[in-house]
Amino acid sequence: MDVLDTSGEKGTLKKLFFFLGILLSVSPFISEPVALLLGLMVALFVGHPYLYLNNKATQYLLQVSVVGLGFGMQLDSALEAGREGFLFTVFTIVGTLTIGILLGRLFRIDKIIAFLIASGTAICGGSAIAAVSPIVRADEKQISVALGIVFILNAIALFVFPYIGEILEMSQSQFGLWSAIAIHDTSSVVGAASKFGPESLEVATTVKLARALWIIPLAIASSFLFKSPSKKIKIPYFIGFFVLAMIANTYIPFVEENGHHVASLARTGLKLTLFLIGCGLSKKVVKSVGVKPFAQGLFLWVLISVSSLLTILTFIEN
């Protein structure tokens, strides 16, 4: 039960804390991890006054923010980053899905929950889960469990990854590639990479969005694996707008001169997105996560994080 309910004076206080958190999150004094932490505090100690709107709000705000980040990037360097991460992407997606399904059987986890967790870990967290859920006919509880695990591990990664990168003295290119592969959701990938540096942000965003396109073949494969009737696949069209923004910033002088202003606003939008994601991590979401599904998600996350880190440190130059 929340500390504050939604009625009367207490409901007003709940809204006050929520909007105060928004103001703090978009201020220049707050970093991405702190914005997420503020959201978590609101969720656990106060409660989200508009929880029913949170999922749509974070989805659209994240997409707009990602497109805005494209106005601060150059196409040629982004393509280079994408080529560098392609083989990693293929290998880690196939490997994570395979191991995730096997772990689900080993731990005797519900088949659909295990597949959703593996899909979210392999590609892009909540977006992948949302895309394949209707195809595998997942119910609300199955979706909540998978999303809860992804959100919890995303929150941990946003704080831990930049710290590890600094300890290991990773280059910005190395860290950007690592975060794009090993962190689930695009929001946390961009948040962690942004904290590490501008080059890291460019590499991470490009590789992660290229990775997100694998939602399409994953959705098609899911319909065969679960023998589901054809469902409409949610194609992440905003990635195309991100590419157009990069092209404009690369070849149109006016955009190149002023694009950094849009990119700066986009980073502010990202902080607000992370605050809202934190607000959505309610006690109900945390309680919905079972021990075995969480063990599967944690094992997969640690496996992909450690294996990709060792590979990057060994084969990718500073």
Does residue 2 belong to any structural domain of this protein?
no
Residue pointed to by tokens 């396109």? 213
Does residue 3 belong to any structural domain of this protein?
no
pLDDT of residue 148: 86
Does residue 77 belong to any structural domain of this protein?
yes
What pLDDT band is residue 5 in, cutting at 50, 70 and 90?
A: very low
With contact defined as beta carbons under 8 Å apart, do 97 and 118 qualify?
yes
pLDDT of residue 6: 46
Number of domains in the chain: 1
Look at residue 2 and tell me whether its pLDDT is greater than 70: no
Q: Using alpha carbons, select from 37, 110, 116, 129 the residue that is nearest to residue 297.
A: 116
pLDDT of residue 116: 94
Does residue 308 belong to any structural domain of this protein?
yes
Look at residue 3 and tell me whether its pLDDT is greater than 50: no
What pLDDT band is residue 101 in, cutting at 50, 70 and 90?
A: very high
Q: What percent of the chain has a predicted confidence (pLDDT) above 70? A: 93
Average pLDDT over residues 25-38: 88
Does residue 265 belong to any structural domain of this protein?
yes
- Tens-digit pLDDT profile for residues 245-279: 989 999 999 998 999 899 999 999 989 998 998 88
pLDDT of residue 109: 93
pLDDT of residue 74: 83
**Farthest CA pair distance, the chain:** 60
pLDDT of residue 20: 94
117's enclosing H/E stretch is helix 111-122
Average pLDDT over residues 1-18: 67
- Tens-digit pLDDT profile for residues 156-195: 999 999 999 999 999 999 999 999 999 998 989 999 999 8
With contact defined as beta carbons under 8 Å apart, do 116 and 146 qualify?
yes
The DSSP string of 148-205 is HHHHHHHHHHHHHHHHHHHHTT--HHHHHHHHHHH-SSHHHHHHHHHHH-HHHHHHHH
Does residue 83 belong to any structural domain of this protein?
yes
Containing domain of residue 228, as a range? 8-315
Look at residue 300 and tell me whether its pLDDT is greater than 90: yes
Look at residue 70 and tell me whether its pLDDT is greater than 50: yes
- Tens-digit pLDDT profile for residues 71-96: 988 888 777 766 766 777 888 899 99
- Tens-digit pLDDT profile for residues 197-233: 999 998 999 888 888 888 888 888 888 888 766 556 6
Does residue 91 belong to any structural domain of this protein?
yes
Does residue 1 belong to any structural domain of this protein?
no
